[in-house]
Amino acid sequence: MGALDARPSRTRAGRTFGGASVRWGAWILLGAFALGACAEQGAPGAAARAVADSSSSASAAQTSSSQATSEAQQLARKQIQDARLRLRVDSCEAARRAIEDDVASRSGFVSDVDLDHVDGLTAQTVIVLRMPARELAGALRHYAALGTVLREELDTRDITDEFYDVEARLMGARKLEARLLEMLTSDTRALSEVLKVENELARVRETIERYEGKLRLWESLVALSTLTIELVETAVAPVAETPPLTARLGHTFDRSWSALLAVGEALVHLLVAVSPWILPAAFLAWSSVLVSRRMNRRRSNSATPA
């Protein structure tokens, strides 16, 4: 009986252990399937986010690159700007002082001032200003408010091609200068060759100085714009008062007396001018009278019979 009771108990224990193993295996398989499904659902989202991030980064890089390129191109332009403004103002002196004070605040300066008065009524002032190119547009708007604009001109000359062409020529000339200096340091050359190299070096250095001077001039004209302002002040002519009758009569008498004196002076001048001719004219007249009398006598004598 004891042996029989022991065998069934081992059988139940084996069954219990086998059922637990099956249940744990099922839970493990379900967990693996769930993790795989989550991974499959999450993978497209992650990939899409990665693609979106990369595309946004590329577009941002392209935008910043294009902006940097456009800014570099804008800064690289070499333009000379000159402007001219003609204004009618109430007071040339007040407008001139206002302009001189303002141009100093714009890091500019007054290059030339010319004052002129015409007919005692109209005053003109010409002011030549030099200021940074970035201040030119604002200065034009500010100065136009000082009076009535009669004329406004803006001239922009692009010298980009000429500037960089001269700059490239300058670089080439400097390289040639360096090669010529190397040739001079060589001890294997004859005296005649050394003289030729020195002459060529002098010519190249003259070319370099000319290019450098032109570039400095252009840099100055590009950095500082020229603004010429012409101020016109028209004064009101005073109203003429009508003088009294006695004053007008006296003025008329004075003019008549002045005319009489002028005629008398003219006659005196005429007599003085004719006086040197009086004696020769009298002599010619007297001679012609004598000749005509003699001819008349001869005719009368020849006509009388003997």
Q: Please tell me the distance from the alpha carbon of residue 268 to that of residue 179, in angstroms, as a whole number.
A: 91
Q: Please tell me the distance from the alpha carbon of residue 146 to that of residue 113, in angstroms, as a whole number.
A: 18
Count structural domains, the chain: 1
Let me know if residue 214 belongs to a domain: yes
The letter for the amino acid at 281 is: A
Let me know if residue 46 belongs to a domain: no
Q: Please tell me the distance from the alpha carbon of residue 292 to that of residue 234, in angstroms, as a whole number.
A: 77
Q: Which residue has the higher pLDDT, 154 or 64?
A: 154
Of 84, 117, 46, 78, residue with least CA distance to 222: 78
Residues sharing a CB contact under 8 Å with residue 78, sequence separation 6 or more, in sequence order = 158, 159, 160, 163, 164, 218, 222
Alpha-carbon torsion angle 299, 300, 302, 306, nearest 10: 180
Q: Tell me the pLDDT of the chain averaged across its residues.
A: 75
DSSP 27-81: HHHHHHHHHHHHHHHHHHHHHHHHHHHHHHHHHHHHHHHHHHHHHHHHHH--EEE
Measured CA distances, 69 to 56, 64, 72 (Å):
20, 8, 5
Of these ranges, 30-44, 77-91, 234-248, 273-287, the one predicted with the greatest mean pLDDT is: 77-91
> Structural domain of residue 125, as residue ranges?
79-234
pLDDT digits (tens, 9 = 90+) for 113-160: 888 876 655 578 999 999 998 999 999 999 999 999 999 999 988 888
Q: Please tell me the distance from the alpha carbon of residue 64 to that of residue 70, in angstroms, as a whole number.
A: 10
Q: Which residue has the higher pLDDT, 146 or 5?
A: 146
Whether residue 7 has pLDDT greater than 60: no
Let me know if residue 173 belongs to a domain: yes
Measured CA distances, 247 to 147, 254, 255, 258 (Å):
43, 10, 12, 16
Let me know if residue 51 belongs to a domain: no
Let me know if residue 227 belongs to a domain: yes
Extended strands (E) in the chain: 79-88, 109-118, 122-132, 148-158, 224-234
Extended strands (E) in 197-292: 224-234
Let me know if residue 120 belongs to a domain: yes
Q: pLDDT band at 301, cuts 50/70/90?
A: confident
Let me know if residue 3 belongs to a domain: no
Q: pLDDT band at 227, cuts 50/70/90?
A: very high
pLDDT for 192 equals 80
Whether residue 98 has pLDDT greater than 90: yes
Least confident of 22-36, 186-200, 208-222: 22-36
Of these ranges, 74-78, 98-102, 273-277, the one predicted with the greatest mean pLDDT is: 98-102
Whether residue 195 has pLDDT greater than 80: yes
Q: pLDDT band at 251, cuts 50/70/90?
A: confident
Q: Please tell me the distance from the alpha carbon of residue 73 to that of residue 66, in angstroms, as a whole number.
A: 10
Is the separation of the CB atoms in 61 and 67 below 8 Å?
no
Tell me which H or E stretch contains 95: helix 92-105
Let me know if residue 5 belongs to a domain: no
pLDDT digits (tens, 9 = 90+) for 160-175: 888 899 999 999 999 9
| Pairing between β-strand 148-158 and β-strand 224-234 as defined by DSSP bridges | unpaired
Q: Please tell me the distance from the alpha carbon of residue 234 to that of residue 121, in angstroms, as a whole number.
A: 6
Three-state secondary structure call for residue 153: strand
